[in-house]
Amino acid sequence: MDILQICSLKKKYRKKISKGTVVETVAIDDLNFKIESGSFISIMGKSGCGKTTLLKLIGGLDTPTEGEILYKGKPLTKLSHDQLAQYRREQIGFVFQDYNLMDSLTIKENIMLPMLLDNKKLKEIEESVMYYAQRFGIRKHLNKYPGELSGGEQQRASICRALSNNPKLILADEPTGNLDSQSSKEVVRCLKEMNQELRKTVILVTHDPYIASFADEVILLKDGMIEKRLVNHMEKDKFFKILIEHLNAF
């Protein structure tokens, strides 16, 4: 079953420079693709090709200029503000490059936040926090503040947070951008586990072909359009090599 359907999606940014002159940037230009439920998709492309914009559109943080995104067959543009908020709260987990943890909350509180917003029971929430914290090895840091953790630990905490609400779809925008290769591996391994064991759909934006090679499928974007879709049938190392070839040919 397709969890996401993207139909002739377009996004233009307009900016008034002075009176009369409007500068238009086309961030996404006529995208069409489907994402199956439970798949691990990686999106790659040069800087400025519209990856973040695409994730924002999928997450309902921005509205497309044209076209439509169907989530489980339902169009996002038909949803009201509050419904969109609810969609984000219940269906989507975001992981970003700069962790996006709130400095004034402890790690535990940060992870709890989406569930608290969802008015879940306290006991249920604490159990969920403990489960994910255990799993991602940040249990002993739960009562610390984000500033006291390393980048990798913070990123894992933010993955915990993205998962804690049991979303169907995880959107990760360069989650390994600030990490060393060891921590990056850990983070992507976590995502992979989530994908395989809990059947979550993961969309991962990255510049790192090694990270991308964990995916079932890699979508290469160029100037807001799909350049190529590479399906991962083979071993990881082989796929990695093929990826690098394609990227060099770009």
Partner 1 sequence: MLLKILLKNFRSSLKDYLLFFIHQSLMVVIFFVMTFFFRIAFKVSEMDDVSSLASFIYTAVVIVVIITLVSTNMNLRNYLMIRNKDYDFLAILGIRPQMLYLLLCVEFAMGSLLAILVGLLGGSFCVLGIADLLGKSGFQNDILMVSIWNYLNSSFIFIVIVGICMIVNCRCFSRPGKKTNSESAMEWESYKAYDLPFLLIGGLLVIGILVNLWFYYSVLNSLISMMLLVGSACLIVFSGSRFIFKKMRKNKKWYYQNLLTSNRMMYQFNKNKKLLFTIFSLNFLIFYLMGSITASYGTLINAEDQESYPYDAVAISELKMDENRINQSGITAFETIPILPVYDSNDNREPHYWGISLNSYFKLTGKEEALGGNEIILISQQEGVQNNATTVMKRALTMAGSSSNYQIQKYFQEIIFGKISNKNLNNIIVFSDEEFQQQYSDANNEMTLFLGKISMNFDKTAFDQSNLLVTVYKQDMLQQIKNENQIMFLIFILLGLIMMIQLGSSLYFRFFTDRNQFLADARFLKQLGMTDKGIKKIYTKETAMLIFLPIVTSFLWSGFFFCAEMKFQNVAFLENSGLFMAFGISYFLIELAFYKILERQLVSHVSYG
Ligand X SMILES: Nc1ncnc2c1ncn2[C@@H]1O[C@H](COP(=O)(O)OP(=O)(O)OP(=O)(O)O)[C@@H](O)[C@H]1O
- Our CB check for ligand X shows the closer of 45 and 146 to be 45
Partner that binds at residue 48, options partner 1, Mg ion, ligand X, none, CB closer than 5 to 8 Å by kind: ligand X
Q: Measure the CA–CA gap between 86 and 89, rounded to whole angstroms.
A: 5
Residue of 18, 21, 47, 80 interacting with ligand X (CB under 6 A) = 47
Choice between 39 and 52, CB closer to Mg ion: 52
- Of positions 14, 15, 21, 147, contacts partner 1 by CB under 8 A: 147
When asked if residue 73 is in the footprint of ligand X (CB under 6 A), the reply is no
The answer to whether 136 and 156 are in contact (CB under 8 A) is yes
Which residue, 85 or 198, is less far from partner 1 as judged by CB?
Answer: 85
Torsion of CA 100, 205, 198, 60, to 10 degrees: 70
72: left (phi over 0), alpha (psi -120 to 50) or beta: left
User: What are the helix (H) ranges across the chain?
Assistant: 51-58, 81-91, 107-117, 122-135, 151-164, 181-197, 209-212, 236-249
Question: CB under 5 to 8 A by kind: which of partner 1, ligand X, Mg ion, none does 85 bind?
Answer: partner 1
CB of 140 to ligand X, least distance (A): 33
Stretch of residues binding partner 1 (CB under 8 A), selected from 2-10, 31-39, 91-99, 196-204:
91-99
Q: Which is nearer to partner 1, 172 or 243 (CB)?
A: 172
Q: Which of 39, 42, 52, 128 binds ligand X (CB under 6 A)?
A: 52
Distances (CA, A) of 244 to 128, 185, 237: 39, 18, 11
Q: Which residue lies nearer to partner 1 by CB, 164 or 176?
A: 164
Residue 138 interacts with ligand X (CB under 6 A)?
no
CA–CA separation, 240 vs 206, rounded Å? Answer: 14
Q: Is 25 in the site for ligand X (CB under 6 A)?
A: yes
CA distance 50 to 63: 14
In the stretch 111-140, what mask flags binding to partner 1 with x, by CB under 8 A? -xxx-xxx---x--x---------------
Tokens of 73: 């067959």
Where is 36: in which H helix or E strand?
strand 22-36
